[in-house]
Amino acid sequence: MLTSTGIIVITGEDTYAHTPKSKATPSQDLTWLEYLKTHTPEELIDLRKTAYTYAYGQEGQTFYEILHADAARFTVFNKAMMQQEASLPTLGMFPFSSLQPAVDAEPDRLAAGADRRETGDSFGTGSRLVLQDRSFALDSVPQELLKGIEKCPYDFCTEQPVKKYNIFFLRRITHNYQNGGCTTILTNIAAAMGPTSRLLITEAAIPARATPGEDLAPYCMDMLMISIGGKERAARGNLPPCSPARACIS
């Protein structure tokens, strides 16, 4: 965010320098500075000791536990997420209909989608669909908006309850976690996949270097995600390490 607005400059990989703008920027009210002074790098990626939990004085809980405890805030969050989803074109980037032959050959093997309702009607394969998320997230989506889609409460860091599906689709899931959490998620999915199962992952890839004047949204999202223990990944290394999950990514 600071480099894309020209407040600081990037001098090398993960190396930055002050500018007159940064030196003139007040910092006494920034929670991030106090958090970084009082927490270790390991705590930054601990889902229960993040900058968000620190700012709300609720360390020991996760971002989603804090969010769900406030009904009004959770409602606003859901509406904001739905509005953001409407502006993302990524669902049209993969030809889901090309998987139709595999679905027709084994119709009892479902497609498991991991995201909100916008995912479900975008496969175009005519297969049964399962939407997985935490219970409170699924409960916030009326069933009438999920025609032909089954809800399946699920914690992505636990054993995958559905086995050998045609498609396992993770949409905007891995950016909620650092590499260790992503490896756990991918390991669980790899164990549940059949010989011809496909794993599709949809995430944003941010540029390695920011250019002043460009779209700030990717960098804003990166700051938001790291404040809750996740991260947006740069184009040079968008996918988390997958070798421990025994998955072949192409």
pLDDT digits (tens, 9 = 90+) for 107-135: 666 666 555 544 555 555 566 788 898 88
DSSP state, residue 241: P
Q: Confidence class of residue 205 from pLDDT cuts 50, 70 and 90? A: confident
| Tokens, residue 151 | 């809800």
* pLDDT score recorded for residue 42: 92
* Predicted confidence (pLDDT) at residue 68 exceeds the cutoff of 60: yes
Count of Cβ atoms closer than 10 Å to residue 61 Cβ: 18
User: Taking 80 as the threshold, does the pLDDT of residue 148 lie above it?
Assistant: no
Q: Give the pLDDT confidence score for residue 223 in this predicted structure.
A: 86
> Tell me: the pLDDT tens digits for 171-194?
888 889 988 888 999 999 999 998
**What pLDDT is stored for residue 140 in this prediction?**
82
What does the pLDDT look like over 15-44, one tens digit per residue? 889 898 888 876 656 788 889 999 999 999
Kind of pairing between the strands at 167-171 and 205-206: unpaired
Closest-CA residue to 120 (of 131, 104, 106): 131
Q: Domain coordinates of the chain in residue numbers? A: 92-203
Residues 177, 182, 184, 187, Cα dihedral to 10°: 160
Q: Which residues are catalytic?
A: 175
What is the pLDDT, as a whole number, of residue 33?
Answer: 85
CA atoms within 13 A on the CB side of 248: 4
**How large a percentage of the chain has pLDDT more than 70?**
80
> Is pLDDT at 65 greater than 90 in this prediction?
yes
What's the mean pLDDT when you consider all of the chain?
80
92-203 topology per CATH = Rossmann fold (3.40.50)
Whole-number pLDDT of residue 153: 92
Looking at per-residue pLDDT, the higher value among 18 and 215 belongs to: 18
